[in-house]
A and B are shown apart, each in its own frame.
Chain A
Amino acid sequence: MIQIKHLSKKFGALEVLRDVSITVRKGEVISIIGPSGTGKSTFLRCINLLDRPSGGSIVINGVDILDPKADVPAIRRKMNMVFQSFNLYQHLSVMDNLTLGPVKLLQTGRQEAEKKALELLKLVGLAEKADSFPDELSGGQKQRVAIARCLAMEPSIILFDEPTSALDPTMVSEVLAVIRRLARDGMTMLIVTHEMKFARDVSSRVLYMDEGVIYEEGPPEQIFDNPQKERTKIFINRVRSFNYRIASPDYDLYAMNAEIELFCEKQILPLKSRQSLQLLVEEVLQICADTLRSTAIELAITHSEKTGEIKLLVESGGAEENILESAALPDELGLTIIRNLTRSIAYKRDGGQNRLTLILKEQ
């Protein structure tokens, strides 16, 4: 359906894509994951020529779209796109957003287009919003309308460019549910996403992109559970870990707690573990308060899906010392709490860094 060979894209001197080749077959759902700024979105935008590639070839349904004679708008009609920022037509009602394309481009009659639009709105659960305007909808609703607008053009391929990145966490699932449903119905889709769990469930193939190339590709089980290459491993592990750097005693405690909360939510940790983890971090930092005056502290929290083990790593520079032992504490209360919460505490001096590893007790 899509054959891409040696695709490259440069913005001035900056090489965003290098020699990307891939073949997409009908009915495939391909997730594209990878760190930010590695050309995932650019790759997607090159496929429908929103960004013009600097080299290589893209053949869609047998048509080379980089050929100057190719009717690019006609190809785009069969290959619609869902954007991170929704991009609903602000001046049109939800209904008109869905019918504009079919009426003007596919010469569908207005009545027929409206009937079809209403069906699609039912499919995404928004039939009652047909007369609303985009600025009256929530983010999740907007994105579902955008997906329905895509479907109204009856495309054979849909490109999703980070469809949930601009959404509040509470609205992510409603959009993902709609995309899951499309996958079940056999729609061919390319999805750039940061939702790892979703990518794992929904895709038939996962591309890991890094530094402008497809670094590793394979079925989701391979990429997520058994990545073959070094960078993929690091990336997948990092997704499972939380990192936070505290540079001064006046750090933003609430922002940090919120991020820990978010991490726990993504890892689907039980409420009890969350509370213990937060208490542990709080007590450790309390004890580290003095250290923070002289050196920065790096926190890392990791969660292993296999063993269910939750690990807290505290790294600090400065002179060799085990904070938990040497700190002059007014009382033993904090330390007692930490000991009660953890299964093991280990201290190690490594490469000029004091490294403290605490493993949370099983709940």
Chain B
Amino acid sequence: MRKLAMISALLFVAASLVAGTSLNGATLRSPDDLRLGRIGVLQGTIHERYAMKAWPEATILQYQSPSDLLLAVKSGKADAAIYSDDELMVMLRQNDDLAVLGDELLATPLGMGFRYEQTELRSAFNNFLRDIKADGRQDAMVRYWMKEGGTRMPEIPASAENEVLRVGIVSDNGMPFCALIDNRLTGYSIELLDRFGLYTGRKITYVNIEFGSMIAALASRKIDMIGAVMAITPERRKKVAFSDPYYEQGANLFALKKNIASLPQPSTAGSVKDGKSFLAGIAESFRSNILLENRWQLILEGFRTTLVISVFSALLGTLFGALVCFMRMSRLNVLRVSAGVFISLLRGTPVLVLLMLVFYVVFASVNIDPVLVAVIAFGLNFAAYSAEIFRAGIEGIDRGQTEAGIAMGFTGPATFYFIVLPQTLQRILPVYKGEFISLVKMTSIVGYIAVQDLTKAGDIIRSRTFDAFFPLIMVAALYFFLSWALMRLLEYLEGMMAPKHRNRTVAA
């Protein structure tokens, strides 16, 4: 009997552990009910700071993009989330199972960000802002984008001047500020910035950067101006010189309708939608995620970028790895030790950190294509691994092979080329192939330095369609296809390099 009681007590503890602090059922009446709940926020935003202050005991979950935030609430990973009200309206229009919880939490002014020494550019923007306020242009813009939910960009002629103004934005921020529609940047922020470009006579170039990296990019001169939706806060002021506010933005909590007590619960009639045939659902997803707004172009573009980065960093890494391997096996202490240090440093650093270091520190003051930066960073990383693969392969060849070549009259390099290298290649290819495939998959983090690769393309689509399943599966399938195709290519090369294999199959 006591045993039974003990077991049930254990089960209860286990159950409550699994359930965690989540709030089940329609328990949310006001924001105060989230005291012990889980609250989703966008990383690095003022919402994050606000949530930490307002609900000190709650679990604050940080997400990278609005679509992740939305997904977290929909899938029940977060009880509620904070998001800017204008963007939230757009989101709610497409997701009828969500609703706003409580009143507006905070209202913050938004500003464009500059470095402190850019006084001229900043005052130019402030003058521009004053002008459009005076002639009513700004009111019209706010009405169109915010109130009417417009999605069409007006035609604004680009400035004829050649002087470029690089503006950092978050392309998957979401409407009404900034989103990709028909592969074109669209939204309130973009119209504002385009008009500013016309006003100052400079050509605007948009640079897509993770929100969290925005200030670093400005400081390291990767961009001339922050055009993302950034609230003016005292902390940011330390690093960023803000323009006058161009918009006052509120933020709200949102949650699943069924968790909000004050709302009428959605009837089970909603399941009619779920009853739609599976195939029809897939077709609909395909239409909205691929065909609509020509999103397949985004995917294609991203696929190409991923392919380019993978192939070129593998090439660079292989060549550089061969050099490092040569140094590592050199008789000169200086070369051997420096190669050893290079290898252990590179292998001991996460490649994401390396990527950011190369982009924001090494090439901080150089205007360089981020794709090139990615190739360099992944190439360096790949070099460290391939150098060790090569070394193991070469050292695995019996010393007698070299001696036989030398004794026959080959010079050292010729012996290596004719005798050691072919045997090494045959041996290392299986390991090398595996390393190459990891490299292809590793490139999915280039979004951090403003490269639109396959993963990022999927993220952008998700930010517009708020559909997690289809874009993620599609991106996964494309990565798989890419790896598979590259693997087949390497296997083909392997077959060419191993005449032994070929002869035997012919003989058989």
Tell me if A256 is interfacial: C-beta within 8 Å of chain B.
Answer: no
Tell me if B414 is interfacial: C-beta within 8 Å of chain A.
Answer: yes
A105-B408 in contact given A87-B403, A89-B401, A93-B503 (Cβ < 8 Å)? yes
Q: Do the beta carbons of A83 and B411 come within 8 Å of each other? A: no
Tell me if A90 is interfacial: C-beta within 8 Å of chain B.
Answer: yes
Q: Which of A32-77 contact B (CB under 8 A)?
A: 48, 50, 73-77
Tell me if A191 is interfacial: C-beta within 8 Å of chain B.
Answer: no
Q: List 14 A-B contacts (CB under 8 A).
A: A50-B407, A76-B407, A76-B408, A83-B403, A85-B400, A87-B401, A87-B403, A91-B422, A91-B500, A93-B500, A100-B419, A101-B408, A101-B410, A153-B408
Q: How far is the CA of A75 from the CA of B409 in the complex (A)?
A: 7
Contact with A along B207-230 (1 / 0, CB 8 A): 000000000000000000000000
Give the residue name and chain of the B residue nearest to A84 (CB).
B400
Q: Which residues of B contact A105 (CB under 8 A)?
A: 408-410
Q: How many residues of A contact B (CB 8 A)?
A: 27
Number of A-B residue pairs at CB separation under 8 A: 67
Tell me if A133 is interfacial: C-beta within 8 Å of chain B.
Answer: yes
Tell me if A306 is interfacial: C-beta within 8 Å of chain B.
Answer: no
Contact with A along B398-418 (1 / 0, CB 8 A): 101101111111110010001
Tell me if B423 is interfacial: C-beta within 8 Å of chain A.
Answer: yes
Which 4 pairs, one residue from A and one from B, show the smallest C-beta to C-beta distance? A77-B409, A87-B400, A87-B404, A81-B407
Interface, chain B (partner A; CB < 8 A): 398, 400-401, 403-411, 414, 418-419, 422-423, 426, 499-500, 503
A91-B411 in contact given A50-B403, A131-B503 (Cβ < 8 Å)? no
Tell me if A80 is interfacial: C-beta within 8 Å of chain B.
Answer: yes
Q: Which residues of A contact B500 (CB under 8 A)?
A: 91, 93, 133
Q: Which residues of A contact B405 (CB under 8 A)?
A: 89
Q: A89-B419, A90-B401, A93-B503 are in contact. List 6 more A-B contacts (CB 8 A).
A: A73-B410, A77-B408, A90-B423, A93-B500, A100-B418, A105-B410
Tell me if A104 is interfacial: C-beta within 8 Å of chain B.
Answer: yes
Shortest distance from the beta carbon of A96 to any chain B beta carbon, whole Å: 8
Q: How far is the CA of A47 from the CA of B403 in the complex (A)?
A: 14
Q: Which residues of B contact A80 (CB under 8 A)?
A: 407-409
A104-B410 in contact given A90-B423, A131-B503 (Cβ < 8 Å)? yes
Q: How far is the CA of A74 from the CA of B410 in the complex (A)?
A: 9
Shortest distance from the beta carbon of B422 to any chain A beta carbon, whole Å: 5
Q: Do the beta carbons of A83 and B400 come within 8 Å of each other? A: yes
Give the residue name and chain of the B residue nearest to A49 (CB).
B406
Q: Which residues of B contact A81 (CB under 8 A)?
A: 404, 407-408
Q: How far is the CA of A88 from the CA of B403 in the complex (A)?
A: 10
Interface, chain A (partner B; CB < 8 A): 48, 50, 73-77, 80-81, 83, 85-91, 93, 100-101, 104-105, 131, 133, 149, 153, 159
A48-B407 in contact given A91-B423, A100-B418 (Cβ < 8 Å)? yes
Q: Do the beta carbons of A153 and B409 come within 8 Å of each other? A: yes
Give the residue name and chain of the B residue nearest to A150 (CB).
B408
Q: Do the beta carbons of A74 and B422 come within 8 Å of each other? A: no
Q: How far is the CA of A96 from the CA of B401 in the complex (A)?
A: 14
Shortest distance from the beta carbon of B24 to any chain A beta carbon, whole Å: 67
Shortest distance from the beta carbon of A201 to any chain B beta carbon, whole Å: 26
Most buried by A among B403, B405, B426, B499: B403
Q: Which residues of A contact B414 (CB under 8 A)?
A: 104
Give the residue name and chain of the A residue nearest to B423 (CB).
A91
Shortest distance from the beta carbon of B394 to any chain A beta carbon, whole Å: 14
Give the residue name and chain of the A residue nearest to B400 (CB).
A87
Give the residue name and chain of the B residue nearest to A146 (CB).
B404
Q: How far is the CA of A88 from the CA of B400 in the complex (A)?
A: 9
Q: How far is the CA of A93 from the CA of B403 in the complex (A)?
A: 19
Q: How far is the CA of A153 from the CA of B411 in the complex (A)?
A: 15
A76-B406 in contact given A91-B500, A93-B503 (Cβ < 8 Å)? yes
Q: How far is the CA of A242 from the CA of B315 in the complex (A)?
A: 62
Shortest distance from the beta carbon of B21 to any chain A beta carbon, whole Å: 64
Q: Which residues of A contact B408 (CB under 8 A)?
A: 76-77, 80-81, 101, 105, 149, 153
Q: How far is the CA of A105 from the CA of B422 in the complex (A)?
A: 18
Q: Which residues of A contact B407 (CB under 8 A)?
A: 48, 50, 76, 80-81, 83, 159
Q: How far is the CA of A90 from the CA of B402 in the complex (A)?
A: 11
Q: How far is the CA of A283 from the CA of B419 in the complex (A)?
A: 56
Q: Which residues of A contact B422 (CB under 8 A)?
A: 91
Q: Which residues of B contact A153 (CB under 8 A)?
A: 408-409
Q: How far is the CA of A221 from the CA of B410 in the complex (A)?
A: 39
Give the residue name and chain of the A residue nearest to B498 (CB).
A91
Q: Which residues of B contact A91 (CB under 8 A)?
A: 419, 422-423, 426, 500
Q: Which residues of B contact A83 (CB under 8 A)?
A: 400, 403-404, 407
Shortest distance from the beta carbon of B384 to any chain A beta carbon, whole Å: 27
Most buried by B among A48, A80, A90, A133: A90
Shortest distance from the beta carbon of B216 to any chain A beta carbon, whole Å: 51
Contact pick for B398, options A50, A73, A87, A149, CB 8 Å: A87
Contact pick for A101, options B401, B409, B426, CB 8 Å: B409
Q: Which residues of A contact B411 (CB under 8 A)?
A: 73
Q: Which residues of B contact A100 (CB under 8 A)?
A: 418-419
Give the residue name and chain of the A residue nearest to B419 (CB).
A89
Most buried by A among B409, B418, B422, B426: B409
Most buried by A among B404, B406, B419, B499: B404
Q: Which residues of A contact B503 (CB under 8 A)?
A: 93, 131
